[in-house]
Amino acid sequence: MNMSDYRKVTDRIYPSDKCREEVMNMRSDNKRKKIKHRHTGKAVAAIAVAVVAACGGTVAAAAKLGAFERLSLKNTRTVTNTAGDEFPIDKFDKNDYASIAPAAVDVDDTEPQTNEDITISIESVYCDGQELIFALNGSLNNGNSVGAGYISCRATLYVNGKYQEPINPYGCSFVIDEDEENSFTGSVTYILTGKNKITETSDIELNLAGFNAREKYWTDPLLESEAPVSLRTQVKPNLSLVRDFGENGITAEKDGFYFTVYSISPAMMLCHGGYPESYDIAMQEEIENGTEDGYCHAVHPLVFVFDEDGNYIEGLPMNPIDMPDGELASACVSTDSKTLTIKVGDKNCQSNENGSIEFDDQYGHQSFGYITEFTLDLDE
Amino acid sequence: MNDVQMALIYDKYSSAVYRAAFAYCRNAADAEDITQETFIKRFRTDIDFPDDKAEKAWLMKVAANKCKDLFRSARYRYFYNSVPLDEANLVYESPEESTVYHAVMELPPKYRLVIHLYYYEGYSVTETAKIIGRSETAVQTQLYRARKLLKEALGKGMYL
């Protein structure tokens, strides 16, 4: 991987024909027209706390299953494109909801909230003090006359009035419930480390805005709604859910390669892996020497984690997580494994003289040149 | 400037301006607004550029300033930390493309812009500094920090 990958993606980005048309239409005006910001179909209102009165906007869980059960089913559902190729119904959310569901708590004391286009409520919350995951109900106030199957939006969280950094780069996403016409289930995840951990019952304010309703996650928006929906509730953390290995975590290392696990909960494993600085220096020198393909030349170590049965433990799409020890952690699917096998592979080749590391993940079958491996005993 | 000249200027530079705006804003709507405002300013400004390179650099500078203005607005002050990447406009032909692109898009906005100008547009540190209105030292520092963050995201840690 190198910056040519960024260039290739960027080369495929173009402004729309409508953008050109609007520029050409405005160019000869004597008065400057205010350019309508296309996000804003409605004025961005102050945070709304009105009780819902929308037509057709029922937000009670349409299915008999709980919200986290529906989210668990979501990860088994697929959609197809016009060519018949199958894709996950929501490719941006990889949480293991089957593990999370038993530890979630239903929210009974919060009214649904609405802007002019969408009505949302919090149905259930998972909170272990460190990971905070909301399961949401949603419906379109137009009865879903647009035929949407997927809704995305931005999410902003305050805990006891303090802003929390988003952790999922994709924000919040909803998918239409199976066999339903206007009932959506959504989720958004936050990870709160260090001083941001929730240790007692806390006031939560979750603001969702910038809604895009689409048929599928890759299709054009059918409905765009900017105005925020503000949801408030209280959460009580279940701290016993987290197996906490302390501020510095538990680490195994070999020849300068290392892997640290900070915590394991039903929601995820927070961990961090690394390699000797000599590899950094080699790659950095190639970049600074003007070699654009630096990453293609230097050995590029990456850490892969397997459980005691040899199963690959997949990563979750999260922003790097600031840990109290100063490192940036990643999030993986949780595990009950007593030991972990950490394999270090060279991302620049599929195999080398030492062999290969092979596994299947969301992208398909993977193979990398073998560098080394070691184990981490989680029962130490 | 007549209609034909304006159309030529737009068709020559719109992709570059839009891509830089998208790198900063991460969504098509804002990137197109910034593109429109940039070219409206160009069409209403009576400047004779010595060459195409100078004209393009001027447009990129205007676009960069418009991006900063947008992010100072009340809407972005409230929401910008959680503006998701507009995936609808992106096409990946390999997992590596997706991984690298997302890693760049997760950088802070000012780092994204210098990375885009330096690596995608091929501007030098000096040229990049002039476009974004910062010193060469500041650009070098931003590039260094951006590379460090990219290394941490792509090279040091879990494969996601």
In sequence order, which ranges of chain A are alpha helices (DSSP H)?
3-11, 17-26, 67-74, 97-100, 277-288, 294-297
Q: With bands split at pLDDT 50, 70 and 90, how would you rate the model's confidence at A288?
A: low
Picking from A40, A38, A39, A51, the residue whose alpha carbon sits closest to that of residue A229 is A51
**pLDDT over threshold 60, residue A282:** yes
Q: Determine the pLDDT at residue A42.
A: 26
Domains parsed from chain A with CATH numbers: 3-47+243-377 (no CATH), 103-236 (2.60.40.1630)
Q: Does the CB of B89 have a partner CB in chain A at under 8 Å?
A: yes
Partner residue opposite A274 with nearest CB, options B35, B101, B156: B156
In chain A, what residues touch B30 (CB-CB under 8 Å)? 37, 39
In chain A, what residues touch B18 (CB-CB under 8 Å)? 13-15, 19
In chain B, what residues touch A37 (CB-CB under 8 Å)? 29-30, 33
Partner residue opposite B158 with nearest CB, options A12, A20, A330: A330
**Residue A334 in tokens:** 């949780």
Cross-chain residue pair A26–B154, CB shorter than 8 Å: no
* SS3 of chain B: helix, strand, coil, percent, to 5: 75, 0, 25
First to last CA, chain B: 51
**pLDDT over threshold 80, residue A12:** yes
Partner residue opposite B33 with nearest CB, options A37, A283, A303: A37
Distance from the B60 Cα atom to the nearest Cα atom in chain A, whole angstroms: 15
Q: What would the pLDDT profile of B89-133 be if each residue is shown by its tens digit?
A: 788 888 888 888 999 998 888 889 999 999 999 999 999 999 998
**Which of A29-43, A45-59, A82-96, A302-316 shows the highest mean pLDDT?**
A302-316
Q: Is the dihedral of CA A344, A349, A351, A353 positive or negative?
A: negative
**pLDDT over threshold 90, residue A306:** yes
Q: Determine the pLDDT at residue A213.
A: 94
For an interface test with A, which of B44, B73, B75, B156 has the most A Cβ atoms less than 10 Å from its Cβ? Answer: B156
Q: Does the CB of B13 have a partner CB in chain A at under 8 Å?
A: no
* A26: CB partners within 8 A, 6+ apart: A32, A33, A35, B36, B40
A211 with A120: CB under 8 angstroms? no
**pLDDT over threshold 50, residue A61:** no
| Range of lowest pLDDT (A114-118, A161-165, A314-318, B152-156) | B152-156
Q: Does the CB of B127 have a partner CB in chain A at under 8 Å?
A: no
Distance from the A340 Cα atom to the nearest Cα atom in chain B, whole angstroms: 14
**pLDDT over threshold 80, residue A58:** no
Partner residue opposite A156 with nearest CB, options B18, B82, B85: B82
A213 with A138: CB under 8 angstroms? no
Q: What would the pLDDT profile of B40-99 be if each residue is shown by its tens digit?
A: 989 888 788 889 999 999 999 999 988 887 776 645 544 444 456 777 778 888 888 888
What is the count of residue pairs from A and B with beta carbons less than 8 Å apart? 183
Q: What would the pLDDT profile of A226-273 be if each residue is shown by its tens digit?
A: 899 999 999 999 999 999 999 899 999 999 999 999 999 999 999 998
Q: With bands split at pLDDT 50, 70 and 90, how would you rate the model's confidence at A82?
A: confident
**pLDDT over threshold 70, residue A60:** no
Write down the mean pLDDT value for chain A.
82
Q: Determine the pLDDT at residue A322.
A: 83
A193 with A322: CB under 8 angstroms? yes
User: What span, in angstroms and rounded, lies between the C-alpha atoms of B105 and B118?
Assistant: 15
Work out the angle between the directed axes of helices B52-71 and B125-132 (0-180°, nearest 10). Answer: 50
Q: What would the pLDDT profile of A114-127 be if each residue is shown by its tens digit?
A: 999 999 999 999 99
Complex ipTM more than 0.85, yes or no: yes
b/e code A346-365 from CB counts within 10 Å (16+ = b) = bbbeeeeeeeebbbeeeeee
B10 with A20: CB under 8 angstroms? yes
